[in-house]
Chains A and B, each alone.
Chain A
Amino acid sequence: MKAENKNNIDRREFIKRIGAGSMLTVAALSGCNVNKKGGSTLSDDEIPTDKMEYRTNPKTGDKVSLLGYGCMRWPTIEQDGKTVIDQEKVNSLVDYAIAHGVNFFDTAPVYVQGMSETATGIALQRHPRESYFLSTKMSNFSNASRENSIMMYENSFKNLQVDYFDYYLLHNIGGSVGDFNRRFIDNGMLDFLIEEREKGRIKNLGWSFHGSADVFDHILAYHEKVHWDFVLIQMNYSDWRNARGRNVNAEYLYTELEKRGIPALIMEPLLGGRLSNVPAHIEARLKMQEPDRSVASWSFRFNGSYPNILCMLSGMVYEEHLQDNILSFSPFTPLTDDEKEFLFETAELMLQYPTIPCNDCKYCMPCPYGLDIPAILLHYNRCVNEGNLSKSSQDENYRKARRAFLIGYDRAVEKERQAAYCTGCKQCNPHCPQRIDIPREMRRIDQYIENLKQGKEF
């Protein structure tokens, strides 16, 4: 269902691109030609295989592609009533990525219901080990015992069919010092991982961060003892100064890392699609400036303009995503200061759209009571972006927006997985890296839907 929505968006985006392209031809703005890249699928010869931007890891000298493959969103299919990864598609996506210069792949034991590592391993073992860099993580959230953590670490080798990891991360730390201690200090796992690095089974040791600034500082202070080889942070032009929820501004995180000479890996460059599927007039604004480039390319180019960034991860589900993203890096042109300023203004404008900062990472799932949390939030965001969220029942397009919201809701979310069934148990909240108060949002969305259904005045 979700995949289809994305398809639709692509199609819509395509039409808009054509619209924007022709509009701009008429306007004859300087430096724009008619959009040649408007098609949803590009022929292979239009995508360069030898222009990928690479960054050098100061410690190992690794030449890492600036675009990394995030393996958190592999395509899935239904088989015998079960969701499984579509291995054939994964293989072809991986092949395509490698053929076009992408050499960094990032996974974790918990991704895609625990199936990501195995699928990634199957796809990658068809390529020489030295042709790619592999990254995985210690996701010992629910059981942080030393025994369980080591088991998880060893299983990753088996699943990925390798004998060393290029990059290994302490997964998602930063929520609290207590949680960090529980998972890596009290059980001696940090020391264990340092030893493993000495043995050469881990080439680079780092951590991924979600949480508050003081915990970030606390863990960063271990640098003197541990010598962190890299840190994975959430960064994009929206989070640079306007981080939402309990996220820390990326400007701070990046600057702190740069000061210490620690290379930064970047996650959520597109905020799970929220920076590629933007409200219509934001899209028009970006397109006006750069009609040839996709909306998503702005965020990649913004991040890439910072030299201390080694690689940014994007979870690409369709070949079209992959193609579009490769284009943003092959060749790569950094943003000028004026363009950066233009993006910051755009970020301010986007704040007026009350979307919920969900990146569809699915960490909250499965909800024990069967809700499809990301689908609910995504549907809500989609309606916000498309102007189908009514502020008042007196709105001019209220009837149309109401119909679109309610019918779209039933299409996006199975009836018994909708917000009305949320019990408010709050079991999801600790899992959300964006610190969304999920039960509160569920209540709020449900209230809104009740208003629509009951035809209440508001």
Chain B
Amino acid sequence: MLRKIRISIAAIFFICITLLFLDFTGTIHAWLGWMAKIQFLPAVLALNVGVIVLLVVLTLLFGRIYCSVICPLGVMQDLISWFGGKRKRNRFSYSAEKRWLRYGVLIVFVVLFVVGLNSIALLIAPYSAYGRIAQNLLAPIWGFGNNILAFIAERIDSYAFYSTEVWIRSWVTFAVAVATLGIVGYLAWRGGRTYCNTICPVGTVLGFLSRFSLLKPVIDTSKCIDCGLCAKKCKASCIDTKNHKIDYSRCVVCMDCLESCNKGAISYTMRKGSTTTQKSEEKVDNSRKNFLVGAGLLAASAAKAQEMKLDGGYATIVKKEPRAKFRTLTPAGSLSASNMAAHCTGCQLCVSVCPNNVLHPSPYLENFMQPAMSYEKGYCRPECTKCGEVCPTGAIKPISVIEKSSIQIGHAVWVKRNCIVISDDVDCGNCAEHCPTGAINMVLSDYKDKKSRKIPVINKERCIGCGACEHLCPSRPFSAIYVKSYKEHRTI
């Protein structure tokens, strides 16, 4: 019974959290956004004391049910492990705790945070690891499915579905997601919760607490016949049947053992259990990652009119290219690049919901996998504040549309040689036309000649860095106006 309850609640959490990453319309966040906010590491980074206390109390009362129910990576492993178990039943066996490995990883994890190398540490953070898998591997499938529905809807003149652009925002992060799924999936397939009990820093912290939990599975030695079935069913490999002991630091209270015991010798109660003996550590499995940052820049000329005018057809649209220079443009609400770096877990939730295709995970080491903005596919539209609404860690604070209109995340810079007014000698002014704050004015390129073409000038005081000018600039592949970030965001 207890196991069925655990499975049901876990399924609800898992599906809902996955939906958070799939729902590009951003509508279900209003209902389910809290599920991301009660994740342990995001709550710590957000300094969300309420949630931390709640999770600590939960663990002290019931053991690591966080790992069994709330953590999506944990549930994902259970799912994979369940499939693995179909091929080979009763495949687990007790193994001693690898304490030095667990605490070693935790210490390294904390140290990396302290020295500011969060992005490396985040590779093993459970919630954001799952987020990357969902965003990179599941969201495209979801998007394609939606587009099929949109295709059908279009044909029956319905506006129920609209198509969305499916694209991989960063191949490096995509590769990380594939690698994470590969490694964690393999470990889960083979040994159940190996990852949670050897590497996961959240598992280690909660494991430390769960030693002292009030309720826990306890073996009744008077009923136990030493059959060892419970240990074979224990995906955490924490039941030592010889000594009738359970390692509560690794137990994720999945209740599988309760149901597996034919004699009813294991019960989930308050009775005092015994702690385990510890054994020696194993080698640290340090996997290094190399990051390739490819900057393939295509030099192509802007679309120009045909020489001989024919009717119909389209001019080719040359893809916009980001400026080669490293960018640290972060969304309004994130306060500064350093605040982002310190608080973001790289879970990709904001990237999933960004409707304007502005946010993408950074490929650079300094803010690896954390959201960065660029305006090749769209710009940060004035009516949208979705990233702040969904962020569980407080890396992007929720702001109102009005607040957003006065937050300067950077300012526009004009590149004279790219501007078509200069290079093609035509009238333009699309940047000024679309500037939401009126920061761009068109002025005579030659003040003595009243008939000279007009060029944009930027009022830095009014510019908020939304990128409307950069994105809508006709100059391709490189825009003639681009947004340069501020280290600290400013308020007008």
Please give, as numbers and ranges, the residues of chain B lying within 8 Å of A431 by CB-CB distance.
Answer: 309
Distance between Cα atoms of A408 and B150 in the complex (Å): 11
Chain B residues with CB under 8 Å of A363's CB are 311
Q: Which residues of B contact A416 (CB under 8 A)?
A: 317
B:141-164 near A, CB below 8 Å: 154-155, 157, 159, 162-163
Whether B383 and A113, one on each chain, are in contact in the complex, defined by CB atoms closer than 8 angstroms, is no
Closest-CB distance, B423 to chain A (whole angstroms): 13
Which chain B residues lie closer than 8 Å to A420 at the CB level?
Answer: 434, 472
Cβ contact of B314, chosen from A365, A404, A411, A415, cutoff 8 A: A365
Pair B306/A366 contact, Cβ less than 8 Å: yes
CB-nearest residue of chain B relative to A76? Answer: B312
Complex-state Cα separation, A367 to B426, whole angstroms: 14
Q: Is A215 an interface residue (CB 8 A)?
A: no
Q: How far is the CA of A366 from the CA of B310 in the complex (A)?
A: 8
Q: Is the CB of A410 within 8 A of B311?
A: no
Q: With a CB–CB cut-off of 8 A, which chain A residues contact B309?
A: 110, 141-142, 431
Q: How far is the CB of B476 from chain A (nearest CB, A)?
A: 9
Q: A372–B303 Cα gap in the complex (Å)?
A: 14
Which among A111, A141, A407, A423 is the interface contact of B420 at CB below 8 angstroms?
Answer: A423
Q: Give the docked Cα–Cα distance between A111 and B313 (Å).
A: 10
**Are B383 and A453 in contact, with the CB atoms below 8 A?**
yes
Interface 1/0 per residue, B414-456 and A, CB below 8 Å: 0000001000001111100110000000000000000000000
Say how far B316's CB is from chain A's closest CB, in angstroms.
7
Instruction: Assess the B429–A424 pair: CB atoms within 8 A.
Output: yes
Contact B311 A111 (CB under 8 A): yes
B295 at interface by CB-CB < 8 Å: no
A19 on interface, CB distance cutoff 8 Å: no
Cα of A204 to Cα of B412 in the assembled complex, Å:
61
In the assembled complex, the CB of B382 is this many whole angstroms from the nearest CB of chain A, namely 6
Contact status A455-B383, CB under 8 Å: yes
CB distance A370 to B315 under 8 Å?
yes
Whether A246 sits at the interface, judged by CB under 8 Å, is no
Q: A368-B304, A454-B383 are in contact. Are A423 and B314 (CB under 8 A)?
A: no
A-B contact count (CB 8 A): 102
Residues of A within 8 A of B313 (CB): 83, 113, 362, 365-366
A111 CA / B309 CA spacing, docked (Å):
10
Residues from chain A with Cβ under 8 Å of B428 in the complex: 423-425
Return chain A residues, CB-CB under 8 Å to B312: 111-113, 362, 365-366
- List A residues 105-149 near B (Cβ within 8 Å): 110-114, 141-143
Q: Mark B271-310, 1 if CB is under 8 A from A, else 0.
A: 0000000000000000000000000000000011110111
Q: Is the CB of A4 within 8 A of B154?
A: yes
* Residue pair A407, B317 in contact (C-beta under 8 Å): no
| A407 partner, pick from B159, B310, B472, beta carbons under 8 A | B159
Q: How far is the CA of A427 from the CA of B303 in the complex (A)?
A: 14
Q: CA–CA, A11 to B303, complex, Å?
A: 38
Set of chain B residues within 8 Å of A83, measured between Cβ atoms: 313
A361 within 8 A of B: yes
Q: Using CB atoms, name the residue of chain B closest to A108.
A: B311
Chain A residues, CB < 8 A from B91: none
B477 interface residue (CB < 8 Å to A): no
Per-residue A-contact encoding for B2-18, CB less than 8 Å = 1, 0 else: 00000000000000000
B399 to chain A, nearest CB (A): 16
What 1/0 flags go to A325-352 for Cβ under 8 Å of B? 0000000000000000000000000000
CB within 8 Å of B: which A424-448 residues? 424-427, 431, 443
Cβ of B474 within 8 Å of any chain A Cβ, yes or no, is yes
By a CB distance below 8 angstroms, the chain A residues around B434 are 420
C-alpha spacing A415/B317, complex, angstroms? 11
Q: Is the CB of A403 within 8 A of B474?
A: no
**Is A458 engaged at the interface, CB distance under 8 Å to the other chain?**
no
Q: Which of B304, B429, B474 has the most CB of A within 10 A?
A: B474
Residue of B nearest to A365 (CB): B312
Q: Report the nearest A residue to B308, measured CB to CB.
A: A142
B154-A143 in contact (CB<8A): no
Residues of B within 8 A of A365 (CB): 311-314
Residues of A contacting B99 in the complex (Cβ-Cβ under 8 angstroms): none
Contacting residues, chain A, for B159 (C-beta < 8 A): 403-404, 407-408
Q: Which residues of B contact A353 (CB under 8 A)?
A: none
The interface size of chain A toward B, counting residues with CB under 8 Å, comes to 46
**Chain A residues closer than 8 Å to B474, beta-carbon distance:** 369, 421, 423
Q: How far is the CB of A337 from chain B (nearest CB, A)?
A: 38
Please tell me if B381 contacts chain A, counting CB pairs below 8 Å.
yes
Are A421 and B155 closer than 8 Å at their CB atoms?
no
Residues in B348-397 with C-beta less than 8 Å from chain A:
381-383
- With beta carbons under 8 angstroms apart, the residue of B310, B316, B472 that contacts A421 is B472
> CB-defined interface of A39-60 with B at 8 Å, one 1/0 digit per residue?
0000000000000000000000
Whether the pair A366, B314 counts as a contact (CB closer than 8 A) is yes
State whether A424 touches B430 (Cβ < 8 A): yes
Residue with the greatest number of chain A CB neighbours at <10 A, chosen from B311, B314, B428: B311
Decide if A417 is an interface residue (CB 8 Å cutoff). Answer: yes
Cα separation A64 to B429 with both chains bound (whole Å): 51
Any B CB within 8 A of the CB of A223: no
Residues of the B chain whose Cβ atoms lie less than 8 Å from the Cβ of A4: 154-155
Within the complex, the shortest CB–CB distance from B425 to chain A, in Å, comes to 10
Within 8 A of B (CB), among A204-257: none
A423, B317: Cβ atoms closer than 8 Å? no
CA distance A411 to B151 in the complex (A): 9
Complex: chain A residue closest to B304, CB-CB = A368
- Contact bitstring A291-312, B, C-beta under 8 A = 1, else 0: 0000000000000000000000
Residue A8, interface by CB 8 Å: yes
Measured CA separation A102–B430 after assembly (Å): 48
Q: Is the CB of B163 within 8 A of A423?
A: no
Nearest A residue (CB) for B431: A423
A422 at the interface (CB under 8 A from B): yes
> Chain B residues near A367 (CB, 8 Å)?
314-315
Q: What's the nearest-Cβ distance from chain B to residue A115, in Å?
A: 9
Q: Which of A363, A369, A416, A453 has the most B CB atoms < 10 Å from its CB? A: A369
A260 contacts the other chain (CB 8 A): no
Closest chain A CB from B439 CB (angstroms) = 16
Among B304, B311, B315, B472, contact of A112 (Cβ-Cβ < 8 Å): B311
Contact B311 A417 (CB under 8 A): no
Bound CA span A125–B420, Å:
47
Q: Which residues of chain A in 239-298 are interfacial with respect to chain B, using CB atoms and an 8 Å cutoff?
A: none
In the bound complex, CA of A410 to CA of B159 (Å) = 11
Interface centre among B163, B303, B304, B430 (most CB of A within 10 A): B430
CB distance from A402 to the nearest CB of B (A): 10
B206 CB to closest chain A CB (Å) equals 43
Residues in B whose Cβ lies below 8 Å from that of A407: 159, 162
- Tell whether A6 is near chain B: CB-to-CB under 8 Å: no
Contact B311 A362 (CB under 8 A): yes
Question: Which chain B positions have C-beta within 8 A of A404?
Answer: 159
Q: Which residue of A lies closest to B162 (CB)?
A: A407
B305 touches A370 (CB 8 A): no
In the complex, the answer to whether A370 meets B317 with C-beta atoms within 8 Å is yes
Nearest-Cβ distance from residue B302 to partner chain A, whole angstroms? 9
Provide the bound-state CA to CA distance between A369 and B426, in Å: 12
**Closest chain B residue to A9, Cβ basis:** B157
CB of B308 within 8 A of CB of A366, answer no
Pull 30 A–B residue pairs with CB atoms less than 8 Å apart, ordered by A.
A112-B312, A113-B310, A113-B311, A113-B312, A143-B308, A362-B313, A365-B311, A365-B312, A365-B314, A366-B306, A366-B313, A369-B315, A369-B474, A370-B314, A372-B314, A407-B162, A410-B162, A410-B163, A416-B317, A420-B472, A423-B426, A423-B428, A423-B429, A423-B474, A424-B429, A425-B426, A431-B309, A453-B381, A454-B381, A454-B383
Given contact pairs A113-B310, A142-B309, a sample of 10 additional A-B residue pairs in the complex whose CB atoms are under 8 Å apart: A113-B313, A142-B308, A368-B305, A369-B315, A370-B317, A416-B317, A420-B472, A424-B430, A453-B383, A454-B381
Top 10 closest A-B pairs, CB basis? A368-B305, A362-B312, A114-B310, A113-B313, A370-B317, A423-B428, A407-B162, A142-B309, A454-B383, A425-B426
Chain B contact residues, CB within 8 Å of chain A: 154-155, 157, 159, 162-163, 165, 303-306, 308-317, 381-383, 420, 426-430, 433-434, 472, 474
